[in-house]
Amino acid sequence: MVALNLPGTPMEVLVNSLQKMYPQFTFLKGETARWSPRLRQITYVSGKEPFAVWSLLHELSHALLDHDTYDSDMELLKKEVEAWEHAKMLADNVNQPIDESYIQECLDTYRDWLHKRSSCPACGMHGLQPLAELYDCLNCAATWKVSSERFCRPYRLKKAKV
Ligand SMILES: [Zn+2]
Ligand SMILES: [Zn+2]
């Protein structure tokens, strides 16, 4: 899949080759890995750590799977899982298999975030989400707004659980 006879670091070689394969997207080096559906742009982080490649392939997977919008936080989580499944395939093709534990760490970060968003600020019960930016509490009838976040918020890798 990747031509290895081009000049540059392994990351540059990979990005160059992905850019040729997927000219419909723009690949851009940045601070955090993310996919912008509006700009059709994949931002990747440079570096030798394997997660630089993994996160790039994850964002590319969002792009290839047409992950443009989501209607609820649960759907966002579902798409995160799908993007990782797809990224695993791409990663195997370039001989950089993704650690399952890394994927679980990333998904846990999302789950924690969803848990916080869905908790009623008044009574702490979990609410329902009738709209992407609104939650309702069935227990105390409170409603609260949540920001509509894009795919792949920047997350930090938590320390491995001992
Ligand atoms: Zn409540
Ligand atoms: Zn993602």
Position 7 scores a pLDDT of: 63
Distance 113 CA to ligand 1 centre (A): 18
Q: Which residue(s) pair with 28 in the sheet? A: 43
User: Is residue 125 one of the residues assigned to a domain?
Assistant: no
User: Is residue 31 one of the residues assigned to a domain?
Assistant: yes
User: Is residue 77 one of the residues assigned to a domain?
Assistant: yes
Contact assessment for residue 151 and residue 65, using Cβ atoms and an 8 Å cutoff: no
Distance 44 CA to ligand 2 centre (A): 12
Distance 146 CA to ligand 1 centre (A): 15
pTM of this structure: 0.82
Position 1 scores a pLDDT of: 53
Q: What is the CATH number of the domain that holds 15?
A: 3.30.2010
- Residues near ligand 1 ion, CB 5 Å cutoff: 120, 122-123, 125, 137, 139-140, 142
Distance 137 CA to ligand 1 centre (A): 5
Instruction: Check whether 150 has a pLDDT greater than 70.
Output: no
Lowest-pLDDT range of 7-11, 66-70, 92-96: 7-11
Distance 118 CA to ligand 1 centre (A): 10
User: Is residue 149 one of the residues assigned to a domain?
Assistant: no
Residues 13-53: pLDDT tens digits? 999 999 999 999 999 999 989 999 999 999 999 888 899 99
User: For the chain, what is the domain count?
Assistant: 1
User: Is residue 19 one of the residues assigned to a domain?
Assistant: yes
Report the alpha-carbon angle 50-68-100, nearest 5: 30
Domain that includes residue 88, residue range: 10-98
Structure tokens at 40: 């059709």
Distance 127 CA to ligand 1 centre (A): 7
When pLDDT is cut at 50, 70 and 90, the band that residue 155 belongs to is: very low
User: Is residue 18 one of the residues assigned to a domain?
Assistant: yes
Lowest-pLDDT range of 6-15, 64-73, 142-151: 142-151
User: Is residue 69 one of the residues assigned to a domain?
Assistant: yes
Instruction: Check whether 123 has a pLDDT greater than 50.
Output: yes
Position 104 scores a pLDDT of: 95
Least distant ligand from the CA of 135: 1
User: Is residue 135 one of the residues assigned to a domain?
Assistant: no
Residues 25, 36: Cα–Cα separation, whole Å: 10
